[in-house]
Amino acid sequence: MKRGAALCSAVLLFVFIGFLASAGDLVDHRAIIISNDYEFTVENGVCSGSGDLNDPYVIENWQIDAGYDEYGIRIHGTTRAFVIRNVEISGAAKSAVYLSYVRNGRVEGCTFDGNWAGVTLNFAELNRVSNCTFSSNTDGIHCYFSSANQILGNTFDRNDTAVWFDASDDNELIGNYISESHMGIYFNLGSELNYVVDNAFVENIHHAHTDDPNLWDNGAMGNYWGGFKAIDSEEDGIWDSPYRITSDGDQDDYPLVTHPLVPAPPPASCDI
């Protein structure tokens, strides 16, 4: 009896472990369109939450193939707090995630591959995009008339333009890895006073462009600019010469010699 009970317990434990292993897998979901506060529903992929800042609506663990849709997730004209987490979206004709006239939204740990845009912020403020991966999109993130948003710790790889701002001010871009894009960051249509610090720009055709003044360092440290070298006479990890963004004086006064996200070059060797 004891042996049978033990065997039964072992089987149940194995099944439970298997369930846990599969619980983290993404589930296919249709495109999600939310146009008001009353559409944060289970049918629209909302898993939990009440919409408060301390308990936001949660949209998570979905895989959306938007090959026949303009958007993967479109949220417009809402006031409630929400988080989009651990979602993969590909093939969106306009944008994988489109946030329009919203605030207090978060996009975390998501993957956007092969979309026209990964995330679009349109007349949006006080939103955060963090720890996401953007690859092979036309634009990684595109902001229109949006301010006071945060873009933190994301990876941008092989996009046409990694981050594009149109008429968008006072946003923060911190700790992002931006590589192999035609344009790393593009500020246009009067976008100014955006804070760009501790990012790594690697193997982009153009690292950055701006038509108006933006903030490229915090007075002690700036960004890592791949291919840029000067002299670090004090050996403090900051190049002694600024990295110039434009000929009009926009520049990073404290460009980084190294960055934690960029592997150190191999040591010099005489081996042939």
Q: What is the pTM of this model?
A: 0.88
pLDDT of residue 264: 79
pLDDT of residue 246: 84
Write the CA distances from 52 to 79, 80, 83, 104, 177, integer angstroms. 10, 6, 11, 10, 31
Residue pair 146/122 in contact (Cβ under 8 Å)? The answer is yes
Q: Which residues pair with 106 in a beta bridge?
A: 83, 128
- What is the band of 38 on the pLDDT scale with cuts at 50, 70, 90? very high
Q: How many CA within 13 A on the CB side of residue 41?
A: 8
User: For the chain, first and last CA: distance in Å?
Assistant: 71
Residue 20 has pLDDT above 90, yes or no: no
DSSP 249: S
Indicate the average pLDDT of the chain.
Answer: 90
For the segment 227-253, the average pLDDT, to the nearest whole number, is 93
Residue 218 has pLDDT above 50, yes or no: yes
Q: 46-48 and 57-60 as β-strands: parallel, antiparallel, unpaired?
A: antiparallel
Which sequence spans correspond to the domains of the chain? 25-111
For the segment 168-182, the average pLDDT, to the nearest whole number, is 98
- What is the band of 272 on the pLDDT scale with cuts at 50, 70, 90? low
Portion of the chain with pLDDT greater than 90, in percent: 84
pLDDT of residue 2: 38
